[in-house]
């Protein structure tokens, strides 16, 4: 999107006419928005976390769950650890930022959602301080735009992409730097620990990003809907297990 905008605004200095710049910008916009959805049944997979967690964005409440179809995010879910004792820091005015170690999810195991093959591992980004204060949340709009200059990795942080068969690919993002225990080409089994929860990429606090895609490269992928198989999340409010993605702001236990 940044490249398309640059061509649109500055292309005239390179001798490109409006008729040459507008189609290039339109292509960039379509790739960014990834208009439309994949018409297929939800894929059943295991949850990538264990314990008591909460979704801060989920396709159970809106689609696309992140506000955009770009980067295969249509049905993405973002999960934060939410212990019953209330030790997870809440949003406030002070402090402006916190070290990731202040959050109970930081370092929690992340598990493979299905049997598959590791296609790509990105494990070099640092775990930044939190952005869960009101001033920083406002600034996240600008920060996210800058991070996007790096492409999908700038937004997803450290991540692993798995080929889980049937033309479906699983992405686990915002992982802790140095925590990934697999490499490209490795075979993994459903439930196997492959990394730990981190605070890398465009996230406000330590969390696990999970999404299914119909292409191995997030830049051109469309999202795929999913269900969770046993061990399924059990809502602490409803008390019953289910296979649908969790609703936002309602803690569940896996």
pLDDT tens-digit readout, 114-127: 999 999 999 999 99
Q: Do 86 and 203 fall into the same domain?
A: yes
**Residue 51 is part of which domain span?**
40-253
How confident is the model over 142-187, as pLDDT tens digits?
888 888 888 889 999 999 999 999 999 999 999 999 999 999 999 9
pTM over 0.75: yes
Q: Do 77 and 12 fall into the same domain?
A: no
What does the pLDDT read at residue 142? 84
pLDDT surpassing 90 at residue 75? yes
DSSP 179-221: -----TT-EE-TT-EEEEBB--SS-SSSBEEEEEESSS-GGG-
- Helix-, strand-, coil-residue percentages of the chain, each rounded to 5: 25, 25, 50
Q: Do 45 and 25 fall into the same domain?
A: no
What does the pLDDT read at residue 69? 86
Instruction: For the chain, give the mean pLDDT.
Output: 88
User: Mean of the pLDDT values across residues 63-78?
Assistant: 91
The CATH number for 69's domain is 2.70.70.10
pLDDT surpassing 90 at residue 188? yes
What does the pLDDT read at residue 37? 65
The whole-angstrom separation of Cα 188 and Cα 214 is 19
Range from 6-10, 40-44, 104-108, 144-148 carrying the lowest mean pLDDT: 6-10
What does the pLDDT read at residue 137? 86
Confidence of residue 140 (pLDDT cuts 50, 70, 90): confident
Total domains present in the chain: 2
Q: Do 19 and 137 fall into the same domain?
A: no
Of residues 90, 84, 57, the one with CA closest to residue 208: 57
Q: Do 163 and 118 fall into the same domain?
A: yes
Q: Do 6 and 91 fall into the same domain?
A: no
């Amino acid at each position: 999107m940044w490249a398309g905008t640059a061509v649109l605004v500055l292309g005239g200095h390179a001798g490109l006419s409006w008729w040459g710049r507008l189609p290039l910008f339109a292509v960039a916009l379509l790739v960014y928005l990834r208009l439309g959805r994949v018409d297929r049944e939800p894929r059943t997979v295991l949850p990538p976390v264990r314990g008591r967690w909460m979704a801060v964005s989920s396709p159970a409440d809106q689609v696309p769950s992140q506000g955009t179809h770009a980067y295969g995010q249509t049905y993405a879910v973002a999960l934060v650890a939410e212990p019953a004792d209330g030790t997870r820091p809440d949003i406030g005015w002070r402090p402006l930022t916190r070290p990731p170690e202040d959050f109970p999810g930081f370092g929690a195991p992340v598990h493979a959602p299905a049997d598959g093959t590791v296609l790509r591992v990105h494990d070099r980004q640092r775990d930044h301080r939190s952005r869960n204060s009101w001033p920083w949340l406002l600034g996240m709009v600008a920060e996210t735009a800058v991070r996007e200059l790096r492409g999908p990795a700038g937004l997803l942080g450290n991540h692993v992409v798995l080929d889980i068969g049937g033309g479906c690919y699983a992405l686990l993002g915002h992982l802790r730097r140095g925590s990934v225990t697999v490499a490209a080409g490795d075979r993994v089994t459903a439930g196997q620990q492959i990394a730990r929860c981190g605070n890398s990429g465009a996230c406000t606090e330590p969390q696990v990003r999970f999404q299914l895609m119909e292409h191995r490269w997030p830049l051109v992928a469309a999202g795929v809907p999913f269900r969770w198989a046993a061990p399924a999340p059990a809502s602490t409010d409803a008390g019953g297990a289910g296979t649908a993605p969790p609703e936002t702001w309602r803690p569940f236990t896996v």
